[in-house]
Structure 1
């Protein structure tokens, strides 16, 4: 990701400013700033402070001081504080949604939904039991597994759904007794900075720190000796750099990376009935979702009818500025990604076997808009099929043998999610279990549940977020062995 350049004074005129980092519970400005681009216009609309190395050091020190207190704060009190933060998020939801749409591009109602889901995620995650586990309790003794906070967590979040990905990291880290430093993407930093502002009134100083910056800040965070864990969501390429940077201090790392999710549609479906669900599982957020459907394998018996139905939906959906009434799909979020999708489309148009059924081009208007695109005729070995395009483009591939479809779906370095679509649920479940992914669905695709672990196989990630499993990734397990006379900590069992 390229860091936006700092603007000169004339270029900065008229841009929204006043955004600040949150360090130690206080608003902090920076000497440098960079422009934030509205993807619906391609023009800057605001200035964002650019954190220095000294400011990161100050944030780590503030987080470490706060953690010494926060880790001993009763779990119920940590829960109450986080739920107060969720309440503040709800109270400011409408204003934040407008800002989120301007910097990310998604339709306003989708931005509102993202903020609602973010607040709900905090409430759900802080209701999960993270108490000790009993591993053994017999004549040989009792063994308990306890969990303790790691210390200071560094969270690095992406530009596609910045708030719904930042708040669960905040909730998990803080609920478990850690403190946190959050770095949003430089493409969508402003709404996350506003989370820090809200937190100043409801969380103890230093518990949540938010700093904006580019690649350099991300590298400083991953390498900083005062940070004990990194939780990163983003591309595979950047995830590998994060892992390398964290290795110098053996940080705990959770990586939620990209995906090239396949959906397999069997021959017993009603194509026009399932087409809307498949369409939105692929095109939600203009295809900029890590677990969206990015390859669609369709049995030849229903292939043509499903292609027609999906192409019709692609031609009818309203694309535009997310602040306009009735818009269903916004722009690609940034110029770099827009150019990347354009290159994939140019390659696709140049292939004789490709049949572009809808879209296939950028829209003739300002901003980073690409027409929703449906492509048939391609196979493996092409960029659109093999790699994660991360845009509003869906290839549809044909098959006549289910074993072949599963093998082709698994022929990928990615393994985030996958789905099977059929009227026979038992058959669907059997096939779905063969997919080499972190999450497999039957007759559904897309979406996360805070009570379920989420993450990827292969190069789609390390570890899991959410659920009890995800929460425990923010803590260090300790095995406690007790002699047979002891039934629990500090409570010896009287002998007869």
Structure 2
């Protein structure tokens, strides 16, 4: 993109000043810390990770081979049976202690999250919040979710039925880089509460955060062997995890998710997948424009847009579009970018070169095909190698890549609409179906429109946080955005096998008491009619 295509955009986003005496990567990632966190990691090779803020190396790390993965599963299986026989309330108590430790020592992990992902500190704190919520929820509710349940039997009174829930065994978890605390340990917590062991493969570039969480869980009382971590390249280590797991939990791209699903299906093991999104936000004619503009900044640019449930498409009613854009663009241009390990920056860096290349490609192609840059649109190498300004585009149309592909960066396209049905149709027009947002002062209308949107979660008058933070309710995607759900009952029961135990009493399910076959059939016919008349379920 040339300066002529985006005049006056470079430098409009101020940088957040670093506080005096600010901590550096060397202050945080010490050799002692790395040695403590990597203790017990099954890996015979060596690799390293880096910070997006500068590109410098953070730590030397053990690297796992497929043989190391097999050994990690062997160790986890040896420990899982004892853990499964531990009473569920004692397992849940580990989560509650972990909750307290995370909140008490959050400064440690906030530094790690920022250094490994490049995100602003407030966005890193979203992960602390989400993990604490999940730990509290399953710490309090796991026993109720997992307790034996009585059901009406085939013949009331005569058939006594109980549903039991057994752990699957060893869960293989493949976690992404963008939310290295929440999308690693946050998904593992219900698996542990259900009595499983976990072998986790975090992304190499963000594995210190996941290892910190493992260390804290062990401090909270989790047996160390129950939680194994393997580190290595996805194409090498990922298939090995799928090959040995009794259940697979994956968060990442739709393309890789399909490969994971195929590998799990070949072994007839279950899988949950949270995949990509091209999420839409609808601003209706009666929306509070000030609140909608502020909410759009949060929804579009949190974690530099590297969030599967962030907003990449804005549909604004034409009657309020000018007023909304004036406020939204001004707020976007005023965002402060920064690298400090402290609160103050509004947005941080992209995670690496691949993400920056995608963002640049999407923006440059859109501009070349006629889109207009309303804010941002340029990289900021003066701040760090992967910084890119929060960007607002108008005039985006198919077949521009930014119109249909997931950007996963700080780029949003704005579209005007005149009819709500039209807006809903456009919002639903992608293969994805993860999250969406509706802004209106009419709560009833908002709920009606939400029900028409083909996404796993819908937020009214906010972008993504209310639905995701409501841990009692399921969260996941429709269409190409995935299979299964995290949170709520589905988020823990997926890590279990259901077993029905039916105890037949007094009379068999067969001719008895002198009845012949015809008499038994007539008796059962009368019984079935009676059960319907009595509204038995």
Q: TM-score, normalised by structure 2?
A: 0.83
Q: Aligned with 1:480: secondary structure?
A: strand
1:65-100 Cα offsets, whole Å, 9 max, x none, are 111111111011111223233333334321222122
The answer to whether residue 332 in structure 2 is matched with residue 314 in structure 1 is yes
SS of the counterpart of 2:499?
Answer: strand
Confirm or deny that 1:100 pairs with 2:113: yes
Counterpart Cα distance in 1 of 2:59 and 2:322:
46
Q: In the alignment, what sits opposite 1:76?
A: 89
User: Whose radius of gyration is greater, 1 or 2?
Assistant: 2
In structure 2, the partner of 1:434 is: 452
Contact 1:106 1:322 in 2 (8 A): no
Corresponding residue for residue 240 of structure 1: 258
In the alignment, is the contact (CA less than 8 A) between 1:22 and 1:211 conserved in 2?
A: no
Per-residue deviation, 1:139: 4.5
Cα 1:325/1:445, change in 2 over 3 Å: closer
- Pairwise CA distance, 1:485: 6.2
Distance in 1 separating the partners of 2:40 and 2:497: 32
Is 1:63 the counterpart of 2:76? The answer is yes
Deviations 1:457-494 (A, max 9, x none): 001010111111211000011222233669xxxxxxxx
Matches within 5 A, 1:475-490: 475-483=496-504
1:206 paired to 2:225: yes
Q: Which residue of 2 aligns with 1:327?
A: 345
CA contact (8 A) 1:266 1:422 kept: yes
CA contact (8 A) 2:254 2:276 kept: yes
Structure that is richer in strand per residue: 1
CA distance in 1, matches of 2:417, 2:399: 16
Deviation at 1:192, TM superposition (A): 0.9
Alpha-carbon distance in structure 2 between the residues aligned to 1:380 and 1:136: 54
Distance 1:110 1:291 in 2: 14
> 1:94–1:112: 8 Å Cα contact kept in structure 2?
no
Who is 2:376 aligned against?
Answer: 359
Deviation at 1:271, TM superposition (A): 1.8
* C-alpha distance in 2 between matches for 1:53 and 1:134: 43
The answer to whether residue 99 in structure 2 is matched with residue 86 in structure 1 is yes
Q: Is the 8 A contact 1:370 1:392 kept in 2?
A: yes
Shift of 1:325: 5.4
* Structure 2 unaligned regions, length at least 5: 1-28, 508-537
Match of 2:306 in 1: 288
Match of 2:479 in 1: 458
Deviation at 1:323, TM superposition (A): 2.1
- CA change 1:483–1:100 in 2 (3 A) is same
Aligned partner of 1:444 among 453, 456, 462: 462
Higher helix share: 2
Task: Name the counterpart of 1:349.
Answer: 367
Aligned residues: 469
Q: 1:325 to 1:456 in 2, by over 3 A?
A: closer
Counterpart in the other structure of 1:7: none
Native 8 Å contact 2:287 2:439 kept in 1: yes
**Structure 2 SS opposite 1:163:** coil
Gaps of 5+ in 1: 1-14, 487-496
Distance in 2 between residues matched to 1:417 and 1:278, nearest whole Å? 14
Please report how far the alpha carbon of residue 29 of structure 1 lies from its aligned counterpart in structure 2 after TM superposition.
6.7
The alpha carbon displacement at 1:295 in A equals 0.8
Contact kept in structure 1, 2:42 and 2:68, CA below 8 Å? no
Distance 2:338 2:37 in 1: 33
* CA distance, structure 1, for counterparts of residue 368 and residue 148 of structure 2: 59
Q: CA RMSD in A?
A: 2.3
Q: For 1:377 and 1:77, how far apart are their aligned partners in 2? A: 57
| Displacement of 1:401 | 1.4
Aligned to 1:135: 151
Residue 11 of structure 1 aligns with which residue? none
Alignment partner of 1:219 is 2:232: no
Aligned to 1:148: 166
Q: Distance in 2 between matches of 1:375 and 1:318?
A: 19
